[in-house]
Amino acid sequence: MKKLILLIISIFTLQVFSQSVVLESFGPNFDSPVEIKNAGDDRLFVVEQIGKIQILNSDGSVNSTPFLNITSNVQYGGEKGLLGLAFHPNYPDNPSFFVNYINNNGNTVISKFSVSSNPNIADTQEDILMTINQPYGNHNGGCINFGKDGYLYIGMGDGGSGGDPQNYSQNLNSLLGKILRIDINHDGAVYSVPESNPYIGIDNAQPEIWASGLRNPWKFSFDTYDTFGGLEIDDLWIADVGQNEFEEINLVDNYISSGLNYGWRCYEGDDIYNNSNCPSSDELTFPVATYSHSNSGQFKCSITGGYVYRGELLNNMQGVYFFADYCSQEIGLLNKENDIWNYSLVNPTAPGSWVTFGEDINKELYIASVNGGLYKIVSAALNTNDLDERNISIYPNPFENEIYFNNLAVTVNIIIYDINGKELLTFENHKDNVLHLDILDSGIYFININNQIKKIIKK
Ligand SMILES: [Ca+2]
Ligand SMILES: [Ca+2]
């Protein structure tokens, strides 16, 4: 009996363990901040969409002179502006950095700048690496990052309008709707194409393309970690903004898989969007998670991809992928349990139209609203009631031979325990609204659904 009471208490504790993301204001308000990067030291570089990069110091102060001001080169407004920043992997030995912006002709520019003799001020001398024509004002991508392979990855949207009317994302002859990969360390030329890029020498394909079928990757990040066996893993996470209904998160395991097609405009999330002249679905790579605009609580509209957490401040958040939605102002936490990806969406302690996350040198996370607020994420907890909030209930209880779920719209893993906590039955990838438990004797059991719902059931 004592054991039973202890178990009930521990289950109750789990049930009331509430979900939260605590934000602490960090620094002053910025002018439409759209990116936050570090350069391997304790400064944060805040990219303002108008065409400036500000230095935010670890004490929360901002340098009076911007690190870079290229407002006269930048067309700003809507989804246009200075959008991306990446420091050279060997900074400061190699004092260069790269930016992604929309120029005064409305086209995407990737260019290289150098830091001056003062590490807090950049030279305004610019080397343009690439200019990519933009057919419409929206869907300009903008995120750039170096991989552990030392190559520069560039996130390109489908060019814009709606529904990708020219079908750029599926067209390997266009750099739009892709992730590109270039080598910026090439002697002489501004860049070269890595020999391992997937479309070199292929007819009607651009050699810079590394992945295709993206609508507007806002944003992507690398996650580097060591396995218990000491193997270093590099994953790539790509958040792709949806058209009408589904926002998606894509994971490129140990990002060795180049040449993948992420499906847009054939698919939006896992649903067919426009499947004319499309490859078969088994040639496409589908997201590890999607969320709906209107069928998952508060109205949502546009994903902002973040980072897998690898810092020390947030307890129990190791390996959790952080993302956000621009409209609902929620912060999302995605993690894998029992081989199933689960996400929670949380109203953080401060509101914001979230457009970027950032990581400092210690891998702690920051988030910024396009309205100017920048915050450090100082605490976060996963909700154990996430599925409960979708109003899943279990009936009847007590039951005879089977139990029923209402509203089980997702695939779940179910474990049945006895009152001593011994695992009795496991049902993987369960979808039905009925679960047959004739095999059990009369008694008290615990049912665990995706480690989120834990309930006592009686037979
Ligand atoms: Ca565009
Ligand atoms: Ca997709």
Confidence (pLDDT) at 392: 63
CA of 400 to the centre of ligand 2 (A): 43
CA of 284 to the centre of ligand 1 (A): 24
CA of 160 to the centre of ligand 1 (A): 5
CA of 129 to the centre of ligand 2 (A): 28
Measured between alpha carbons, how far is 446 from 367 in angstroms, rounded to an integer?
Answer: 39
Confidence (pLDDT) at 407: 62
CA of 75 to the centre of ligand 1 (A): 12
CA of 292 to the centre of ligand 1 (A): 24
Ligand nearest to the backbone CA of 168 = 1
CA of 83 to the centre of ligand 1 (A): 12
Measured between alpha carbons, how far is 25 from 371 in angstroms, rounded to an integer?
Answer: 13
CA of 138 to the centre of ligand 1 (A): 4
CA of 145 to the centre of ligand 2 (A): 20
For 336-388, the pLDDT digits (tens) are 877 788 888 999 999 999 999 999 999 999 999 999 999 999 998 865 444 44
CA of 264 to the centre of ligand 2 (A): 5
CA of 455 to the centre of ligand 1 (A): 50
CA of 213 to the centre of ligand 2 (A): 7
CA of 158 to the centre of ligand 1 (A): 7
Confidence (pLDDT) at 389: 44
CA of 140 to the centre of ligand 1 (A): 4
CA of 103 to the centre of ligand 1 (A): 12
Ligand nearest to the backbone CA of 81 = 1
CA of 23 to the centre of ligand 2 (A): 30
Q: Is the distance from CB of 247 to CB of 269 less than 8 angstroms?
A: yes
Confidence (pLDDT) at 383: 53
Ligand nearest to the backbone CA of 83 = 1
Ligand nearest to the backbone CA of 211 = 2
CA of 271 to the centre of ligand 2 (A): 9
Note the pTM of the prediction, 2 decimals. 0.81
Ligand nearest to the backbone CA of 288 = 2
CA of 164 to the centre of ligand 1 (A): 11
CA of 180 to the centre of ligand 1 (A): 16
Ligand nearest to the backbone CA of 263 = 2
CA of 243 to the centre of ligand 1 (A): 14
CA of 306 to the centre of ligand 1 (A): 22
Confidence (pLDDT) at 134: 98
Confidence (pLDDT) at 187: 72
Ligand nearest to the backbone CA of 135 = 1
CA of 93 to the centre of ligand 1 (A): 35
Confidence (pLDDT) at 409: 60
CA of 100 to the centre of ligand 1 (A): 13
Ligand nearest to the backbone CA of 265 = 2
Give me the residues of the chain with pLDDT under 70, please.
1-19, 228, 256, 382-393, 406-410, 451-454
CA of 120 to the centre of ligand 1 (A): 32
